[in-house]
Amino acid sequence: MRVVLHDSASVAEPTLELAREFAAGVFHAAGIEIDGASEAASCAAGSSARAFCVQVLLRPHHPQFEPGKVRTMGLALAADANRAVVSVYLDAVADVARRYGQPRGKVLGIALAHEIGHVLLPPPSHSTSGIMRSSWDSDAIRHAISGDILFTDRQAALMRDRLNNRPSIP
C-alpha cells in the first residue's frame, strides 16, 4: 500500500517521520506493508503504481474544531478499488497530544492509521476496541502509543483481503 502525504499544515519533519513510522508499525502488525514512496508520488488515475494508494491531506485546521470539545482528528473522504483520500487535522491532533501529554508525532500516527483503516474496512468500521475505536481517552492513547492497541485480527484479515482482491490497474 502506498501512502502519500500532502502537508498543508507545515508539520515539522521529525513529527512527520514519527507519525509515518508509527502508522507503518500498526499496519505491519496487521500484515500490511506501507510503500515508502516519495511525497512527490501520486495516486492519480492512470498512475503506473500497482499498490493501493492513499492520499493523506494534512490540514492545519478542522473546520468545526473547538479546543476541548471536538476530538475528531480526521475524516475518510473517498475511496474506490485502487485509491482513497483522507484528511487529518493538525489542530485536533495537537490538542489531543497536549491534553494527554503524548508526542504529537505518535498521536498523528494514530490518526493516520485510524483514518486509513476507515477506507480499507467495510462500514461500520468503528469498533469498541483496537485502533478503530470511535473515542479515545488518556488510557487508550497511552496503550496505542505503547503498541498495545492495534487492528483486531478480524480487521487485519478484512484489510488484507481488500488489498489482495482489487481489480488490476490498467
pTM (2 d.p.): 0.89
Give the pLDDT of residue 165: 87
Residue 126 near residue 107 (C-beta atoms within 8 A): no
Q: Over 50: is that where the pLDDT of 170 sits?
A: no
How far apart CA 63 and CA 76 sit, in angstroms, is 15
- Backbone φ and ψ of 57, nearest 5°: -95, 105
56-63: average pLDDT: 85
Q: Strand 74-79 and strand 83-89: pairing?
A: antiparallel
Contact 34, 1 (CB under 8 A): yes
Q: What is the chain's length?
A: 170
pLDDT digits (tens, 9 = 90+) for 13-45: 999 999 999 999 999 999 999 986 555 566 765
**What number of other Cβ atoms are within 10 A of residue 54's Cβ?**
23
Q: C-alpha 28: how far from its chain's center? A: 13
- The region that residue 101 occupies, defined by phi over 0 for left and psi between -120 and 50 for alpha, beta otherwise, is left
**Cell numbers that stand for 5 in this block:** 502525504
